[in-house]
Structure 1
Amino acid sequence: MEWGKERLVWLFLGHMSVSQVANLLSRKHKPWILAAYGMWACRCVLGTRGTAMVLIHTTVSFCVAQFRSQFLSWLCSLSLLSTLRLQDVEEVKRGWCTTENECYLLQFTLAVRCLCYTSFSLELCWRPPPAERPSYSLPWMLAYVFYYPVFHNGPVLSFPEFIAQMQQQEQSSPKTSLSILALGLGRLLFYWWLAELMVHLMYMHAIYSSASLLRAVSSWTLGGLALAQVLFFYVKYLVLFGVPALLMRLDGLRPPPLPRCVSTMFSFTGMWRHFDVGLHDFLVRYVYIPAGGSQHGLLGALFSTAMTFAFVSFWHGGNDYLWCWATLNWLGVTVENGVQKLVQRPRVQHSLVGSTSSVFPEPGQLNKRWWLRRPSSSPQELAGDCMPLLPLVPPPC
């Protein structure tokens, strides 16, 4: 976060200033002004060669998309993504960067931008080819790829959502924008302070770098450390996604929801659906549904889910531990969906209701038993006696 405070924060502030000036002077040309600023900010952070690499990837993907073939578009995106893992390419990129952090940021930026030009290419393949389609032109693709608040880390916003919101931005008064900025900035500073506190006082990074320490602790302690690491990951992403989300709101756009607290989620499906909403929507729209989804029966759903997690593993780097992680997630989601479908069967539901009715009686049965037990009571007495039972009855949906 020290490196981010030196460079990225000032560039984000510059984007906010340029965006507000563009709103006042030339709202019609705002997308192109922000695209130009994004290219300049990219050059400041990644250098001329890093910016040229992003431009080359974007241009190649745009040219391949003109064939309107989903197969070629996916082949192009996966090929460009695989070049990031080549040893020779990594050595060249390390020669461009002065620090390891800059090299990692370039690597991660190119991976995130891969999702953007993949979204543009597939959307172009799905559209009928009219004579003029200004929205699916190279300038709009560059405006989408170089939109700076989401440039380095996301969150992911599909091309149709981006262009629809950019062309019909929500206009807000200066007072409203100021209140959005004050409230969002207050939350971000609190999350940032909490993340720094966890790093410096709870030694989040140091503990997990010490294999001997992790082997020495008990299983309960190890489980607590794992939960603490997940919570730290959540707080960190509140900052990483919160800053772009705040800038997007100031630009009149609607960002994906921030990650939901991991302590409130208890399933693999819920974690994937609510932690990174933008990535989840991308996977469903461009991987799961085109692969067949649930429309082709059980085997089709299993295959589509496997393809989705295979892409996630490959996109993250394709290492052995990532394939194991993706396989475990696939198994978890599959088991959860299987149990859910099993429980939805009428016979199983009847058995579950019968086995739990003696432990948790229905509200109607509870009131009936109470009435039969005290037949001589007046309505006022019954109302007073039943008041403690009211919280046990769930409110109507």
Structure 2
Amino acid sequence: MQNKSGFLYIMNLTAIMKFSNNYESYFYFLAWSCAISYSVYEFYLSNNYFDNYYDAYNDFDRGWTWIGKKRDISDQEWRAWLALVNKLISYIFIHHFFSQIIKVNSNNMILCCWYILSSTAFLYYYIGLLGALCALLQPSLLHIITYKYSKNVAWLIHVSFLFVIHILKIPNGIFQSWLGFDDEQHYILTLTMCWIHLRSISHNMDSIDDKLLNSNNFIQKLAYCLYLPTLFSGPLILYHEFVESINQPHQYWNYQKLQTFVLNLIRYMFWLYFTELLLHFIYVNAIQYHPQIVQNLNPWALYGLGYCMGQFFLNKYVVIYGISKTLCNLDNVKAPPPPKCIARIHLYSDMWKHFDRGLYKFLIKYIYIPVQKSNGCFGKLFASFLCFAFVLIWHGIQVNIFIWSLFNFIGIAIESIGVSIGKSKQYHKMQNMYLSPKNIKRFHCILASPLLAMSAISNFYFFGGPLIGNIFTYNIILYGSWKTLFILFFFLYCCCQVSVDVKNWELKVRSLT
């Protein structure tokens, strides 16, 4: 199944219904879709607060003139990325043009040098000499410090360096003042340093495994860390995957490859402009700065806000990761696909597996598997704990990030316990004795619904901060009426049914191909 943004799941589910011919599945699909549509509509009605709003913090611009409505531009990451892309367009075409010439006429070391040069040139243009030097020195310094040490010592150094990066991220701090950067430049540089750090860890761990400590390896590391299509915002490509990609025999651009590139670019540009269009009507980001308004939303409008926060976050990364992957494909560099739609995923494990797939593979390869192997019966639990501890440190140790990471760890732990019980012979025997296959599916979806609620609320802390997350927790879970909770869990149950149908359909499609 193609990984499309939220609203495309309707097309996929239509195919599922034809395949299964199951009226119960039709009902769950329609109920879940109607719940999403109605909640978003209720949230849309709450936007009248901003009709005569005094915009002291530039949360809005005039928007597209043909619409005649202002546009929500208050999401810093989205705004900074759009500004970055506008300046990057010409450089990225130069990058790919000379990459193809070098691949035809020279070797991989020259290609890696070009990757370093093209990225450094853009960094110099965009954030100046000091900013470019920071991006170059970071992987170089980490290489010098860590390349002679064991994995455990290297990990200690890398984690310590992350704390340094988060000190440098402080707005209007010493680092920003020293560089003389505005907020956008400072944000882009520190974001780039966080991504470079993940790549430095990947290179370091793979090099220790392969015992590669030569100068060619260092050049490849710099090329990998500074690779222009993924430099600023991912997705994360593991080091060994990057090396395998650039070591493949050169493939000339042909009509089919260019056609695929153009179609994918059109696809992701459509989602970019579609997201921008929606921001003229649904002020999902600006309202997060006004918790007093969120506090007064009725339950359905609150559900709509929660869904829209998740949908906007999804659309953002479908566009960012999708365009980056499209550009990587021109270089024959294999990048992870963009995330799957949140409206068709109900399990914590699936959300982590299918949203940021590069980060997921990083956590599994470098933390989860090594820790699990060496820690006996509690290895899985401890490995999961360390994965989420690293996620917390990498994103930044803040209250909302801590709550999000903690809820995710608890959710994964509960899910793992459930899976272990489900694999036991006694459970299988009792299940098959008392429940039909349809009732087994219903029972599992009932059990998954509370976990889905916890997953959603943990994400609201991540998206909107502790105040917004607390409003959802108090107004819905702690102080919501029984009627409100029943309606919520019923529709979450429908979501679980839809998600299971999608997974079953995907498995059947894979088995046929």
Fold shared per TM-score above 0.5:
yes
Instruction: Give yes or no for contact 2:103–2:250 (8 Å, CA) kept in 1.
Output: no
1:163 is the counterpart of 2:243: yes
1:108 is the counterpart of 2:188: no
The residue number in structure 1 matching 2:133 is 52
AA in 2 matched with 1:260: K
With over 3 angstroms needed to count, the CA separation of the structure-2 counterparts of 1:291 and 1:209, relative to structure 1, is same
- Shifted more, 304-313 versus 16-25: the winner is 16-25
Within-5 A mapping of 1:1-397: 1=79, 2-26=82-106, 28=108, 29-86=110-167, 91-95=173-177, 96-128=179-211, 133=214, 137-169=217-249, 171-293=251-373, 296-357=375-436
Q: Distance in 1 between matches of 2:401 and 2:438?
A: 44
**Using CA pairs below 8 Å that are at least 6 residues apart, which structure has the higher relative contact order?**
2
Superposed CA offset, 1:228-276 (max 9, x none): 1111111110111112101110001211122111111101100001101
Instruction: Give yes or no for contact 1:18–1:34 (8 Å, CA) kept in 2.
Output: no
Q: Distance in 1 between matches of 2:147 and 2:416?
A: 38
With over 3 angstroms needed to count, the CA separation of the structure-2 counterparts of 1:127 and 1:27, relative to structure 1, is closer
With over 3 angstroms needed to count, the CA separation of the structure-2 counterparts of 1:296 and 1:85, relative to structure 1, is closer
Superposed CA RMSD: 2.4
Unaligned residue ranges in structure 1 (runs of 5+): 362-393
Instruction: Give yes or no for contact 1:170–1:253 (8 Å, CA) kept in 2.
Output: no
AA in 1 matched with 2:86: E
Q: Distance in 2 between matches of 1:314 and 1:206?
A: 27
With over 3 angstroms needed to count, the CA separation of the structure-2 counterparts of 1:51 and 1:89, relative to structure 1, is farther
Q: Distance in 1 between matches of 2:385 and 2:147?
A: 29
- Shifted more, 23-32 versus 281-290: the winner is 23-32
Secondary structure of 1:270's aligned partner: helix
Identity %: 24
CA drift of 1:89 comes to 7.4
The residue number in structure 2 matching 1:385 is none
- Shifted more, 277-286 versus 62-71: the winner is 62-71
Secondary structure of 1:290's aligned partner: helix
Instruction: Give yes or no for contact 2:310–2:342 (8 Å, CA) kept in 1.
Output: yes
With over 3 angstroms needed to count, the CA separation of the structure-2 counterparts of 1:27 and 1:250, relative to structure 1, is farther
Structure-2-length-normalised TM-score:
0.66
Superposed CA offset, 1:58-88 (max 9, x none): 1221112331311221122122211122279
Structure-1-length-normalised TM-score:
0.84
With over 3 angstroms needed to count, the CA separation of the structure-2 counterparts of 1:278 and 1:170, relative to structure 1, is farther
Q: Distance in 1 between matches of 2:197 and 2:169?
A: 20
Aligned pairs, number: 361
With over 3 angstroms needed to count, the CA separation of the structure-2 counterparts of 1:172 and 1:262, relative to structure 1, is farther
With over 3 angstroms needed to count, the CA separation of the structure-2 counterparts of 1:88 and 1:112, relative to structure 1, is closer
Q: Distance in 2 between matches of 1:26 and 1:322?
A: 46
CA drift of 1:176 comes to 2.5
Q: Distance in 2 between matches of 1:151 and 1:356?
A: 52
Secondary structure of 2:306's aligned partner: helix
Superposed CA offset, 1:169-202 (max 9, x none): 5514421231122111111111111121122221
Q: Distance in 2 between matches of 1:315 and 1:88?
A: 12
Instruction: Give yes or no for contact 1:157–1:256 (8 Å, CA) kept in 2.
Output: yes
Instruction: Give yes or no for contact 2:192–2:233 (8 Å, CA) kept in 1.
Output: yes
